[in-house]
Amino acid sequence: MDFSRPDNARTINRLKVLSELRKGECSRAELSRRLGINKVSIGDMVQGMIEEGIVTEGMKDTSAPGRPGTLVSIYRSAGRAFAFDIRPRSVSVSVSDALGHVLRFERFPRNADARDNLIHAIAKMSAGENARIYGSAVVSTDSDIDASFFPQPVVMIPRAIAEASAEIDKDGSLDGTLFLSWSDTFDAALFRKELIHLPTIAHMKTQRDGECSCGGRGCLEVAASGRALMERTGALSVRDLVRNTGYAAALKEALRPIALALSEAVQATASDAVMITGELSQLPDSAYAHLQSLIASLLPPTRRIEVKRSLSGEKGTREGAAIAALEIFFYRTQLLRRLEAIEDSGSALWI
């Protein structure tokens, strides 16, 4: 892409305005100041976006000195993103607005009727206002999902990336955090300016025995995944494991292999903190204190790693999948970051 060409410069400026407004409403003058783009260009761009129905104008900004300008914001109902969470025993679908707020949500057991139920739910959630549909994000551990009837385009999002996206959206201070998603299976991601998927953490060796689907032995997956714990305890679902106090001892035992894997992973990735997400993240404070002390006992004395609990719990998957879909289809965050990096390098480049 050649930045001296006006249409490309407009694309990047437009994405910058959207990403700024995503943080909250803002006046044209403030946008101009924050982005270093002149007021006339900002005015033209905002006007174009208002006409397209992406941005809306609201109250007067009385916080700034001088003549008050009106505040502009993302028009929440401008578009929608669908998110599908496909688990071994259930399928869920949700639809979110342009700011990633979940508007509707339905869950079905994964049986013969699941497909019909899904098609019905998609039709119901698409009806009504003439909002644009940006696309669908699918979180699934199965590789053979028929996504042809999902609203297009469709993007597959790893579970840990979806859940971390929801947490980062709520808390801006998570840079340097390692996210471990603990549900039926394990998944992981590292947030360092952007999210990096680390699926291999599920297959770190934490014990001697136990055959894993990856062909290895003693993987974290075999030692402590929701699926492994259900087999061991006879619990009927992952939810059952968390809610029924009868499984507390089995869960406590699972914290040791998790601490082993995490203590190695935080050293390898130089992470500052750990956050547990997913259905099994909603354990009591005592479990977190135990996990924290296990990890501390495995690390050098100078290293202190805070272990945090997900704020979103099991809702995080669908919230985060919708946010990830919006970032890909609407805010185009990754494209913007790449373009800004090239712009910073200062040379005339084609990509």
Q: Which of 74, 81, 219, 251 binds Zn ion (CB under 5 A)?
A: 219
3-class SS string, the chain: CCCCCHHHHHHHHHHHHHHHHHCCCEEHHHHHHHHCCCHHHHHHHHHHHHHHCCEEEEEECCCCCCCCCEEEEECHHHEEEEEEEECCCEEEEEEECCCCCEEEEEEEECCCCHHHHHHHHHHHHHCCCCCEEEEEEEEECCCCCCCCCCCCCEEECCHHHHHHHHHHHHCCCCCCEEEEEECCCEEEEEEECEEEECHHHHHCECCCCCECCCCCECEHHHHHCHHHHHHHHCCCCHHHHHHCHHHHHHHHHHHHHHHHHHHHHHHHHCCCEEEEECHHHCCCHHHHHHHHHHHHHHCCCCCCCEEEECCCHHHHHHHHHHHHHHHHHHHCHHHHHHHHHHHHHCCCCCC
Residues 324-343 that bind Zn ion (CB under 5 A): none
Site for Zn ion in 19-58 (CB under 5 A): none
- Closer by beta carbon to Zn ion, 213 or else 293: 213
Nearest approach, Cβ of residue 229 and Zn ion (Å): 16
Part in contact with Zn ion (CB under 5 A); list of ranges 76-84, 132-140, 208-216, 299-307: 208-216
Among 214, 236, 270, 289, binds Zn ion (CB under 5 A): 214
Q: Output the smallest distance, CB 227 to Zn ion, in A.
A: 12
Q: Determine if 289 is a binding residue for Zn ion (CB under 5 A).
A: no
C-alpha gyration radius of the chain: 23
Nearer to Zn ion (CB atom), residue 53 or residue 88: 88
- Shortest gap between Cβ of 186 and Zn ion (angstroms)? 10
CA-nearest of 240, 326, 317, 280 to 86 is 317
N- to C-terminal Cα distance for the chain? 5
Tell me how far apart the alpha carbons of residues 166 and 162 are, in angstroms, rounded to a whole number.
7
Binding residues for Zn ion restricted to 114-153, rule: CB under 5 A: none
Shortest distance (Å) from residue 219 CB to Zn ion: 3
Q: Is 212 in the site for Zn ion (CB under 5 A)?
A: yes
Please report how close the Cβ of residue 216 comes to Zn ion at its closest, in angstroms. Answer: 4
- To Zn ion, the closest distance from the beta carbon of 88 in angstroms equals 17
281/292 Cα distance (integer angstroms):
14
Question: Quick check: 216 binds Zn ion (CB under 5 A)?
Answer: yes
In the bound complex, what is the minimum distance in angstroms from residue 264's beta carbon to Zn ion?
15
CB nearer to Zn ion: give 40 or 214.
214
Cβ distance to Zn ion smaller for residue 54 or 228: 228
Tell which one of 203, 308, 318, 332 touches Zn ion (CB under 5 A): 203
Q: How many residues sit in the footprint of Zn ion (CB under 5 A)?
A: 5
- Tell me which stretch binds Zn ion (CB under 5 A): 52-60, 97-105, 144-152, 213-221: 213-221
Least Cβ distance, residue 185 to Zn ion (angstroms): 10
Which among 30-38, 102-110, 192-200, 204-212 is the span making contact with Zn ion, rule CB under 5 A? 204-212
Give the shortest CB-297-to-Zn ion separation in angstroms: 25
Q: Is 200 in the site for Zn ion (CB under 5 A)?
A: no
Q: Quick one: 204 or 273, whose CB is closer to Zn ion? A: 204
- Binding stretches for Zn ion (CB under 5 A): 203, 212, 214, 216, 219
